[in-house]
Amino acid sequence: MNKASILSFKDLLYIEMGQSPKSMFVNADGDGIPLLNGPAEFTSKHPIPKQFTTKGNRFSEELDILFCVRGSTTGRMNIADQKYAIGRGLAAIRHMEGSHLNAFVRGLIEQNLSGLLGGSMGSVFPNLTKNQLLDYKCVIPNLSIQKQIAKVLSDLDAKIEVNNKINQELEAMAKTLYDYWFVQFDFPDAHGKPYKSSGGKMVYNEALKREIPKGWEVKELQNISKCIMGQSPKGSTYNKERVGTPLLNGPADYENGVLKGRTFTTEPTRLCQKDDMVLCIRATIGNLVYSEQEFCLGRGVAAVRPIEERLSELVYYLLLQEIERFKIQATGSIIKGITKDDLTESKCLIPSDDYINLFHNQIKPMFDNIRTNKKQNQKLSALRDWLLPMLMNGQVTVGEVKQELGMVAEENTKYGSL
């Protein structure tokens, strides 16, 4: 067991509570220092500021933990990627020994979040004061162990970040190629030159109301894919004990680009398969993601399954294009959604066989790498969540953890024991 002591946050943390600047000093024109007011500016890691201030009152430093202290989102965190002015809904938290230990700080807060919120003030939503944060007591390992834990957590977070950046680059490359071929129509012609720019023959298509390359055709999605509209099973069949089939209901079941059913049903209705594309079709329309396993589809989602694998990437980009139209055409007096006809009658531009194959062969490896990286990130996140409490309370040592980190790349990794 690692040596640890019962300490207060004030014994190791510096906490700066936000204070909003006067409105006369706030702008959206980029004048001054970026201003953060709360979780509306948060992402999965770093915030994206929407406002600026020429006269801030309180500030966070780069790598500080940005911690929500007011309202229903109390406890949410982001990491500062630069200096920010912070409003009253946030606190900036850092380790007294330096920012290199802030990964430990974040883990410490996560581990004690329920205790912190249990002592919060506020009749409806929790609010945390500076004194509540500073005076909070918990078991804290010694500084040497804190440094080791910070290194482990930082390495896991860094690997996830690398995978995310690789995926962003791959997605940008794939989208650029798609636009070049299917929007600008400058795919390579028989002589390797850009088709449309080099005078390739274009013909007007009545369905799309625009010109398309000669020899290409337009088909409805239902002619090239099977479309499965979700249907929720009976509520009495639901459970959280992972009995039966995982259920997808909507955006809450999407986590960092991966489907993750949190509820299970013993009487699944309509099913999607591995490699189907799953789309939210009610309320929050969008969130197009490839499925990595079988799911039961609730009424908030639909699955699309191309009749040929080589059409998969074309169908994916068609659906991405159609999402904005779906949002506009969505119907419903209370909760808006799209109908089966909206989905199945979507128009898809289909090139000749040679170009279908060529596009598929170039894009599929990119898509495969993206999906592999997302799955690895899911395992890394699960490993981090599993390790955190045991590192904090000394159940495992950092040396033992290092032996386990290689397991995240294995397909059947299980986090049961070390």
pLDDT for res 1: 44
Give residue for tokens 């953060």. 36
Comparing 9-13, 38-42, 176-180, 334-338, the range with the smallest average pLDDT is 334-338
Amino acid in position 17: M
- pLDDT band of residue 2 (cuts 50, 70, 90) is low
The mean per-residue pLDDT over the stretch 328-344 comes to 79
pLDDT digits (tens, 9 = 90+) for 368-389: 999 999 999 988 988 888 888 8
Query: Could you read off the pLDDT of 223-236 as tens digits, one per residue?
Result: 999 999 999 999 99
Are 280 and 369 part of one and the same domain? no
Instruction: For residues 242 and 336, state if they share a domain.
Output: yes
Residues 338 and 245 in one domain: yes
> Which two three-digit tokens encode residue 341?
């006809």
Domain boundary residue, one of 327, 350, 373: 350
Q: Which two tokens stand for residue 163?
A: 């995978």
| Half-sphere exposure in the Cβ direction for 130 (13 Å, CA) | 11
Q: How many domains does the chain have?
A: 3
Residues 325/300, Cβ–Cβ less than 8 Å = no
What are the phi and psi torsion angles at 37 (to 5°)? -110, -25
Q: What is the pLDDT of residue 122?
A: 57
pLDDT digits (tens, 9 = 90+) for 180-225: 999 999 999 989 999 999 999 999 999 999 999 999 999 999 999 9
Burial of 182 (0-12, 13-18, 19+ CB in 10 A): buried
Q: Note the pLDDT of residue 408.
A: 46
Closest CA relative to residue 257, chosen from 173, 373, 144, 349:
373
Q: Flag whether pLDDT at 284 surpasses 90.
A: no
- The rounded mean pLDDT for the chain is 89
Residue 98: count other Cβ atoms within 10 Å of its Cβ: 11
| pTM tops 0.95, yes or no | no
Q: What is the DSSP letter of 317?
A: H
> Given this model, what pLDDT does residue 16 score?
97
Q: Quick one: tokens of 55?
A: 């006269």
Residue 207 within a domain = no
Predicted confidence band of residue 250 (pLDDT cuts 50, 70, 90): confident
- Mean pLDDT over 303-320 rounds to 95
Answer yes or no: is pLDDT of 319 > 60: yes
Residue 162 lies in a domain: yes
Q: What are the residues whose beta carbons fall under 8 Å from the beta carbon of 328, sequence distance 6 or more?
A: none
Distance in angstroms (rounded) separating the CA atoms of residues 287 and 316: 12
Q: Note down the domain range covering 76.
A: 4-141
Pair 128, 151 in one domain: no
Same domain, 151 and 137: no
Taken as a whole, the chain contains a residue count of 418
Are residues 233 and 310 both part of a single domain? yes
If phi > 0 it is left, if psi is from -120 to 50 it is alpha, else beta; for residue 229 that is beta
In a domain, 102, yes or no: yes
Alpha helices in 44-142 (DSSP H): 102-111, 113-118, 130-135
Contact 56, 21 (CB under 8 A): yes
Looking at the fold, whether 256 and 307 belong to one and the same domain comes out as: yes
Sequence-separated (6 or more) residues with CB below 8 Å from residue 316? 277, 288, 367
pLDDT at 333 over 70: no
Higher pLDDT, 326 or 224: 224
- Does one domain contain both 134 and 13? yes
Give the model confidence (pLDDT) of 100-156 as tens digits. 999 999 999 999 998 998 866 655 567 899 999 999 999 999 999 999 999 999 999
Whether residues 383 and 257 share a domain: the answer is no
Number of CB atoms found within 10 A of residue 48's CB:
12
Handedness of CA 395, 107, 384, 276 (dihedral sign): positive
Dump pLDDT digits (tens) for 156-172: 999 999 999 999 999 99
Percent of the chain scored above 70 by pLDDT? Answer: 92
Instruction: State yes or no: pLDDT of 329 exceeds 60.
Output: yes
- Distance set, CA 100 to CA 45, 97, 149, 400 (Å): 17, 8, 11, 22
Give tens-digit pLDDT for 49-96: 999 999 999 999 999 999 999 988 899 999 999 999 999 999 999 999
Domain membership of residue 272 (yes or no) is yes
Residue 187's beta-bridge partner residues?
none
In the chain, what percentage of residues exceed pLDDT 90?
A: 72
Place of tokens 């274009």: 202
Does 135 lie in the same domain as 26? Answer: yes
Alpha-carbon span 267 to 261, nearest angstrom: 15
Query: H-helix or E-strand containing 89?
Result: none
Instruction: Indicate the range of 165-169, 247-251, 356-360 predicted with least confidence.
Output: 247-251
- The pLDDT value recorded for residue 3 is 74
Tell me: do 10 and 116 sit in the same domain: yes
Q: Select from 301, 329, 350 the last residue of a domain.
A: 350
The answer to whether residue 356 sits within a structural domain is: no
Confidence label for 402 from pLDDT (cuts 50, 70 and 90): low
CATH of the domain at 15: 3.90.220.20
> CA 157, CA 155: separation in Å to the nearest integer?
5
Q: Are strands 33-36 and 84-86 parallel, antiparallel or unpaired?
A: parallel
Looking at residue 332, what is its pLDDT?
Answer: 66
In a domain, 127, yes or no: yes
Is 197 among the domain residues?
Answer: no
Whether 405 shows a pLDDT value over 70: the answer reads: no
- Residue at which a domain ends, from 350, 377, 393: 350
* Residue 409: predicted pLDDT: 42
134 shares its domain with 150: no
Give a yes or no: residue 164 inside a domain: yes
